Structure 1
């Protein structure tokens, strides 16, 4: 088992008590969602209900209940929205990415399972196959540890974790074993933030609803003079009683209110909610259906849908001033061959440069999320590192600006550089000399152009056009051995 220097026997009881007192425990505050009362008020106290409610009270004041049947529209308009939004609230309140897992927590008082809310900052939590990561942390021990983050990122393939790598709450251990130190607990953990974001209510902007409200506002200004004129006409022209005059006035005003438009709009939204529910989609507010109907372009990508679980090298740009006798192809092939546990980027390099020169390895530094680079020292061919340009380069350098320009096109960029010290040295990588930029992109499925068309057909949309993967800026050719010098 690989053990980092920071691995400890865990916190003492005094340290745990101190962190609990400081509020650094894994207590997740209750998510703030709309209450049932707020939902009821939002659906009952609407402009259309206010207009119909006033007219209903006028009719009831005359004692004629049969003429107040239009008041049922108030109930219908309110119930349709309330039922759906209360159901959505109940579903969101139950949303929990972290379930009832009981992590194995290591402390100086002993190692035992504890509930998730007993975990505090800096606790050491042990992991085994099938265990859930309950808080964010940093790996301190690992033995072929692989984590499934598909619930959080959508990536289907397990990710190998080394000492120093970060793990996110909500992920699962697929294989291997290890331990990690809790670095973010409570509402600061990734899963807690994700759940809070999913359950957050945002008022949907609805042009249809706003348009109906403008019509109702205009009609409201007309109802008062129209009602007074009708009463005057009935009392002083037809000489009927006040009750009959009031009923005739209400009978004249109710058809002016577009209650049918509001009711049919609510019904149409409700039908859309039901259909989306059959496709496992939750709608918090009825007008969200209109927002979805107004979507012009849908951009989607997920591993296994449009792309495959892997990357490819689409370009290697050699940089001026490197002055090295080793060819870039040989260096990349040697680095890939020396990596015993390559990540997705190194696997892509190994596929593109699959003829290693057979250089003898003197020292090896595996990739770590904390440093964002890996490297190899070869016996007769110097020290080589490959990693994130923003970590290895001066931000003001020409190479850094060039890497930023390529990265802005949605491509992944790695810097190949020569180091001044051995990669296992305490000051590694030392002063680096940029040699080349390695540009990678996600592998696109051969049938990817057909998939958006199929999804569009199922949802009643039309697909516009498909763009070949090599037609994007930065990857003008599908050949993995394209070299370019500035």
Structure 2
């Protein structure tokens, strides 16, 4: 306890001078991503510009039937914008400092001021329950203990004495203190942490990145091809002058737009967003909040999972496992019962109740309350005086009981001692801060954290999936290692797992990466080290997931490929996490992995359908531009083909159950199937359309080309839908029936500008499409036999 005289505080003039210099407790509140930036980023893209121009052109020439693709454009921009705006709002609401007011000394009197009204050198008066509003230095302390667990990971309250530093965002849990504010506003610990946490970033999604890469390549290729296509269509209609004179320029423009729209896999982006959203809905029913949609996919790609011990492997509570009698002392068990019955008992004392149900709690008088600085407490019963606390503090260094305590601690136990004290031994002990002497050890109280019953099973699941689990904790390495061993984690070759003391780790990045990669269990890890661990693992090519619940975990969670917060965690941690386990159950994660695998595997399956279309559309546009043929399709023809062979079936296939293990190389595998199939489709269309165009067949040529694409598209759909089951057969049959109805029903046929095929057209289409289907089948089988591809294209169906 300090005897320093309490200062009078700043004067009004002092405060005004500091306010004028900007030394106030104010920090910027917005994230790095403004609403305008979100709108620009999602609306004004090259992809949207191309489709937007095409949409405007089609509407201007009056061909509204060919403008259906505009709905996909709007949906893509809307889904992307809303997702980012939701993330921005979450970050903007984040605040580690949540106390609205603070008590300060000014002009010799206490005043209550707004949190943002605190200035440098203000004298803060902190009492039990107060949140520390600014970083500062303790001037006087009356038994002040500060809970810094959410900031630093320190599990026990920290005793603060004059000259000690306090951090903004921590809380007073005992006593009171007078503190001089040394850092306010953006310089304060809490605000610096908030600023880093608020940095806007998107989760690294392989699906999204691969699709965006395709869109960029296609978008840049579209510009020159579109110019050539418009020029060739006008040339086909007799040149610019004639096209303008007789109005055929409108047909040329619509044909060019059809070629452009066909090259853009616009539905792939929309379907990806929908699939992520549906996965988020499924997980929400399992008490998992998905804060960024692609996060569902990321956990399926994770190969290193970093866990905190408390709250993940254990439930954060302790239980009594043994009471070891050291010396028979009358009244000792009743004294233990009194500790457990105390309404102000901490979790450790309360856990003793399970072992002393056979005796009544003796009436007790608290002589010395527990303090994290003392690490012991004292009380009196009718049988005498008792002390209870850490054995290493209460016993002399050479006492033989301490070896027994160390042996128990090595197994992960927390050991406390109850000892009888001489009646007069406590007279000055509390004031002096030291324990009394002449103690008679009575009982060792052995406590252990409750291990979650499903922790071992969950860890076994991740081990079977090839995911390396690392336990990272601020607790004693031996304790952490014991808990890890209890849930089935083991060292290489089956050797017992040992904990690494993080205080001994090198600071060099490469050396740290070597240790972090090779070891499994770490204790005494600081918040800064957690973040460094993530970076070290990422530098070795790992995809890292990190769990946490305290503010001290926030930066590590943000920098990890996937941050996972517990529902009971700090608001700041939940705000930056991509996933929040609302019920705090670690066992929920395998279900998230399954959903991620379903998304990845099924999107890879359907992406081949979309990129097959992009491939044949690009090739057709180039050939048409060179030959000056009319483009084989109107936009509505491609809408029909897309609905029957791509969009509708892709939606259902994307929702199919799948637990296929993630295999890297999504984009490469998709292109290796889509490009050859697209080339085969383009060649088949050119044969059919070229033959019929040479015969001046008119709409028969368009009809033949459309039917050829439909047949080959259905064949590719059938290949990707394997293995067959009842609903996939029904889906394929429905799409084939739709193609028949498009020709057979007059008003549908007229809307899509088709004709009933003449015999020559029907035979030509059948023969050419059959050859094309053989080419697709050969390509599919060769890809399936390729190393790494068989397991992707033969996804195990969960029935």
Q: TM-score, normalised by structure 2?
A: 0.40
> What does residue range 11-410 of structure 1 map to in structure 2 within 5 Å?
11-155=10-154, 157-202=156-201, 204-220=203-219, 221=221, 223-224=225-226, 227-228=229-230, 231=233, 235=237, 241-272=248-279, 279-280=288-289, 282-283=291-292, 287=294, 289-306=296-313, 343=373, 350-351=390-391, 355-356=395-396
How much has 1:121 moved relative to structure 2? 1.3
Q: State the Cα deviation string for residues 415-440 of structure 1 (Å, max 9, x = none).
A: xxxxxxxxxxxxxxxxxxxxxxxxxx
Q: Is the 8 A contact 2:31 2:88 kept in 1?
A: no
Any unmatched runs of 5+ in structure 2?
319-369, 378-388, 400-446, 470-488, 503-518, 520-799
User: 435, 454, 458: which is aligned to 1:454?
Assistant: 458
2:165 and 2:376 mapped to 1: Cα distance? 19
Q: What SS does structure 2 have at the residue aligned with 1:10?
A: coil
Q: What SS does structure 2 have at the residue aligned with 1:173?
A: strand
How much has 1:445 moved relative to structure 2? 5.1
Q: What SS does structure 2 have at the residue aligned with 1:298?
A: strand
Specify whether residues 190 and 293 from structure 1 end up closer, same or farther in structure 2 by C-alpha distance, changes over 3 A only: farther
Q: What SS does structure 2 have at the residue aligned with 1:299?
A: strand
User: 498, 511, 535: which is aligned to 1:471?
Assistant: 498
Q: What SS does structure 2 have at the residue aligned with 1:3?
A: coil
Specify whether residues 448 and 344 from structure 1 end up closer, same or farther in structure 2 by C-alpha distance, changes over 3 A only: farther
How much has 1:455 moved relative to structure 2? 7.2
How much has 1:6 moved relative to structure 2? 7.6
Q: Is the 8 A contact 1:169 1:189 kept in 2?
A: yes
2:290 and 2:264 mapped to 1: Cα distance? 34
Specify whether residues 229 and 118 from structure 1 end up closer, same or farther in structure 2 by C-alpha distance, changes over 3 A only: closer
Q: Is the 8 A contact 1:80 1:270 kept in 2?
A: no
1:176 and 1:128 mapped to 2: Cα distance? 7
1:213 and 1:464 mapped to 2: Cα distance? 30
Specify whether residues 450 and 292 from structure 1 end up closer, same or farther in structure 2 by C-alpha distance, changes over 3 A only: closer
The residue number in structure 2 matching 1:431 is none
Report the count of equivalent residues.
359
Specify whether residues 170 and 26 from structure 1 end up closer, same or farther in structure 2 by C-alpha distance, changes over 3 A only: same
Q: State the Cα deviation string for residues 444-467 of structure 1 (Å, max 9, x = none).
A: 957489637537869x97654623
Q: TM-score, normalised by structure 1?
A: 0.62
How much has 1:4 moved relative to structure 2? 5.7
Q: Is the 8 A contact 1:154 1:303 kept in 2?
A: no
Q: State the Cα deviation string for residues 209-264 of structure 1 (Å, max 9, x = none).
A: 44334323443425326624761585269x99332333233234322211111111
Q: What SS does structure 2 have at the residue aligned with 1:211?
A: helix
TM-align CA RMSD: 4.1
How much has 1:269 moved relative to structure 2? 3.3
How much has 1:89 moved relative to structure 2? 1.8
Q: State the Cα deviation string for residues 72-123 of structure 1 (Å, max 9, x = none).
A: 1111000001112222222222222222432111123411211112211121
2:132 and 2:227 mapped to 1: Cα distance? 67
Q: Is the 8 A contact 2:48 2:73 kept in 1?
A: yes
Q: What SS does structure 2 have at the residue aligned with 1:96?
A: coil
Specify whether residues 272 and 159 from structure 1 end up closer, same or farther in structure 2 by C-alpha distance, changes over 3 A only: farther
The residue number in structure 2 matching 1:375 is none
Specify whether residues 194 and 473 from structure 1 end up closer, same or farther in structure 2 by C-alpha distance, changes over 3 A only: closer
Higher alpha-carbon deviation: 291-300 or 61-70: 291-300
Specify whether residues 125 and 151 from structure 1 end up closer, same or farther in structure 2 by C-alpha distance, changes over 3 A only: same
1:187 and 1:455 mapped to 2: Cα distance? 41
Specify whether residues 218 and 87 from structure 1 end up closer, same or farther in structure 2 by C-alpha distance, changes over 3 A only: closer
Q: Is the 8 A contact 2:2 2:161 kept in 1?
A: no
Q: Is the 8 A contact 2:138 2:178 kept in 1?
A: yes
1:267 and 1:218 mapped to 2: Cα distance? 23
How much has 1:189 moved relative to structure 2? 1.2
1:304 and 1:287 mapped to 2: Cα distance? 25
How much has 1:289 moved relative to structure 2? 5.0
Q: What SS does structure 1 have at the residue aligned with 2:178?
A: strand
The residue number in structure 2 matching 1:325 is none
How much has 1:39 moved relative to structure 2? 0.4
2:151 and 2:283 mapped to 1: Cα distance? 22
Q: State the Cα deviation string for residues 122-172 of structure 1 (Å, max 9, x = none).
A: 211112222111111122222222222343345554333233222221222
1:449 and 1:352 mapped to 2: Cα distance? 32
Q: State the Cα deviation string for residues 154-201 of structure 1 (Å, max 9, x = none).
A: 555433323322222122222222221111111111111122122211
The residue number in structure 2 matching 1:422 is none
Q: Is the 8 A contact 1:43 1:82 kept in 2?
A: yes
Structure of higher CA gyration radius: 2
1:56 and 1:444 mapped to 2: Cα distance? 67
